[in-house]
Amino acid sequence: DGGITQSPKYLFRKEGQNVTLSCEQNLNHDAMYWYRQDPGQGLRLIYYSQIVNDFQKGDIAEGYSVSREKKESFPLTVTSAQKNPTAFYLCASRRGAAPNQPQHFGDGTRLSIL
């Protein structure tokens, strides 16, 4: 079945440590996105990529980095510069850049600080 796979489901980070969240899709979608969800708040866009080898900052990119070396993969690194990384992270994709395409989501990764 086609879909978006995020791993791991739960992740723990020590102070000063970088961690990488995986997002893989087999939907052949061009565009991929990373969101952060905090309790009582809507989803906020961290980074997005509309094509391989290209990505742009979203609204809250500070302390995060991404890469898009392959169409199916869009990993997110939470660096030590992100002072409040505890949140639920959601990866999404959609078929193309056309605005009429729906967005699909993975099952998320919950990141906590040890």
Q: Give 7's Cβ-side CA count (13 Å radius).
A: 4
Q: Pick between residue 19 and residue 91 the one whose CB is nearest to other proteins.
A: 91
Q: How far is the CB of 106 from other proteins (least distance, A)?
A: 5
Q: Pick between residue 84 and residue 100 the one whose CB is nearest to other proteins.
A: 100
Q: How far is the CB of 72 from other proteins (least distance, A)?
A: 17
Q: Pick between residue 81 and residue 97 the one whose CB is nearest to other proteins.
A: 97
Q: How far is the CB of 16 from other proteins (least distance, A)?
A: 27
Q: How far is the CB of 105 from other proteins (least distance, A)?
A: 4
Comparing CA positions, the residue from 5, 2, 1, 8 lying closest to residue 24 is 5
Q: Pick between residue 73 and residue 80 the one whose CB is nearest to other proteins.
A: 73
Residues in the site for other proteins, rule: CB under 8 A?
Answer: 4, 6, 33, 40-43, 45, 48, 50, 56, 88, 90, 92, 97-100, 102-108, 110
